[in-house]
Structure 1
Amino acid sequence: MENLQKKQQQQNDTPAPTKVSFLNCIDLSNPDIHLSVSLLKQACLDCGFFYVINHGITPEFMEEVFAQSKKFFELPLSEKMKVLRNEKHRGFTPVLDELLDPDNQVHVGDYKEGYYIGVELPEDDPEAEKPFYGPNVWPEEDILPGWRQTMEKFHRETLEVARAVARIIALALDLEADFFDKPEMLGHPIAVMRLLHYAGQISDPSKGLYGAGAHSDYGLITLLATDDVYGLQICKDKDAQPQVWEFVAPLKGAFIVNLGDMLERWSNCIFKSTLHRVLGNGQERYSIAYFVEPSHDCLVECLPTCKSEKNPPMFPPIKCGAYLSQRYKDTHADLNVYNKHQS
């Protein structure tokens, strides 16, 4: 772990902030699954965040995906607005589109722009009628040649990493390793990739200005790839007053994985989702978040290994699609705002 910390400090151009959290590291190439399960369980009980390394996606391809993401965000705003987010949450999200922490952001949204890409389904597929399923929105090929192919490949490869992580989570919860591989879970998941760009705004929590407001993710797990710029902070105890925030050190080529609210419900709060936010320090920052949820019709109810007479289920069962639709509606701007603006 000491060598890992040194490597993190050396690879970052910016000096490390004073309070930095160094996370447990899960090596997916390690044949010792018991060690991986132990490290993951400790991370989930401690802070809900951990690194995943040697995941099978080459460093060269990761670099290419970030380069292509940058090309999109460097387009003029008028060009980006041609692929504006639709009601299926596919496409471009402008700065201030999302408001994650209304209590502290004084009704000013996140100072970030993004681009949603989901599992591609043709319009005539019966499943495409459901929220979060259907065709993606893509920039024109002549504007960004090869962009779609790069993003689709990264989406596919990251889903395989997520499935590998989910198998370790299942073992950590005393379930069969393939528990989350079922068709109604990660066999046909809602897997949403979001390219993110923070343009260099300086955050000021005292004024409610954030790159991304404090929140916990909605779903099962999130895999986050970042560049070298510090920005991500976590709060290990969301009930503490005052809250203590720590930066997470970027680790190039790794995924930072965190647990979502749905896994907290599923595990009956044995594994907790963790509050996190992004503070801008005046530098541009790029990241790619990959949100993994079960299928739209999956019933999320207390896992059999997570309840007992002394610890009965704390949450009622809920369909995944209904739960996610409400969470997205609560945090994103109404699309009519853009229709009025453009007209």
Structure 2
Amino acid sequence: LPAPDKIHKACLKTGVFLYDWAWSTTLRPRFNHLNDLKGYQRKGDNVTQGKPDWHEAIDLYTPSPFGDQEGTDQVLSGHNKFPPRPVNFRSVVENWVDRMCSLGLVVMRATTMGLGLDSNQTKNLLDQVWNSFWVLQCIGYPPLPSTHDGVSCGAHKDYGCFTFLHADSTRGSLQVYVAREEGGHGQEPDCHWIEANPVEGAFVVNIGEMWETWTNRLYKATLHRVIYKSDNDRV
């Protein structure tokens, strides 16, 4: 793990940083559309800033023992729906989720060190998020049609604490909005979009709005978007 002070500076500057990790997987299953938020997401189902996004996904959330009964309308209730193929998809995903939840606690502990929290404050925070709510999306970006406006996923901020993004090797897709330099005399920093290209054996980690709120906006949530123009599919 990078030194806590390096993570601290990265969070303050851009809200996004890279975390080393060795495991890579690419999953692109297909199964029927489901009429709730868990399961398969068709192209255009996800809407950002009033425009449909050009990607498809499998959306998984923290399982709940409630809401599997017929006729229930509780949002995000019940268990996840897994595709029948590949046959090991569920076991791989559940193993991945366990690792990501553990990684989230490690990164959160490191950021508390960067913030200067003492051991009791850190313990109190980690106790509250030990069994936290999680979201996993397996997203596929097909090539944009010529009639599309050119944005695969519109500019947005994630709502949680941290998002761990593990993409394939395609470059020139994910973009992050950062300050070029600090503004003077009360002026806002000059901001622009930069590419956050994948690094082999690493994650891109976004800061979410929950962590921004908990740090009283000391750490800024990452504004990001995807503009994918290549001819092949991207995961």
1:214 is displaced (CA, Å) by 0.4
Instruction: Indicate the residue corresponding to 2:112 in structure 1.
Output: 170
1:1-343, aligned counterparts within 5 Å? 28=1, 36-54=3-21, 58-59=22-23, 62-63=24-25, 66=26, 69-70=27-28, 72=29, 75=30, 79-81=31-33, 84=34, 86=36, 89-102=37-50, 108-123=51-66, 131-140=75-84, 143-175=85-117, 176=119, 177-182=122-127, 185-201=128-144, 208-230=149-171, 231-237=173-179, 244-282=192-230, 283-286=232-235
For structure 2, which runs of at least 5 residues remain unmatched after alignment? 181-186
1:41 is displaced (CA, Å) by 0.9
Higher strand share: 2
- Extract structure 1 runs of 4+ deviating beyond 6 A: 238-242
How far apart, CA to CA, are the structure 2 residues paired with 1:203 and 1:190? 38
- How many residues align? The count is 221
How far apart, CA to CA, are the structure 2 residues paired with 1:173 and 1:131? 35
- For the 8 Å contact 2:144–2:150, the answer to whether it is kept is no
1:256 is displaced (CA, Å) by 0.8
SS in 1 for 2:58: strand
Residue-by-residue CA offset, 1:13-64 (whole Å, 9 max, x unaligned):
xxxxxxxxxxxxxxx2x6xxxxx2110111011100000114xxx43xx23x
How far apart, CA to CA, are the structure 1 residues paired with 2:64 and 2:165? 24
CA shift in 2, pair 1:109/1:241, >3 Å? farther
SS in 2 for 1:280: coil
Q: What residue identity is the alignment partner of 1:80? A: N
SS in 2 for 1:281: coil
How far apart, CA to CA, are the structure 2 residues paired with 1:85 and 1:42? 42
Higher helix share: 1
**TM-score, normalised on structure 1?**
0.58
For structure 1, which runs of at least 5 residues remain unmatched after alignment? 1-27, 31-35, 103-107, 287-343
Aligned Cα RMSD in Å? 2.8
How far apart, CA to CA, are the structure 1 residues paired with 2:190 and 2:113? 35
- For the 8 Å contact 1:234–1:277, the answer to whether it is kept is yes
**TM-score, normalised on structure 2?**
0.83
Residue-by-residue CA offset, 1:245-282 (whole Å, 9 max, x unaligned):
11012012311111111111111111111210000112
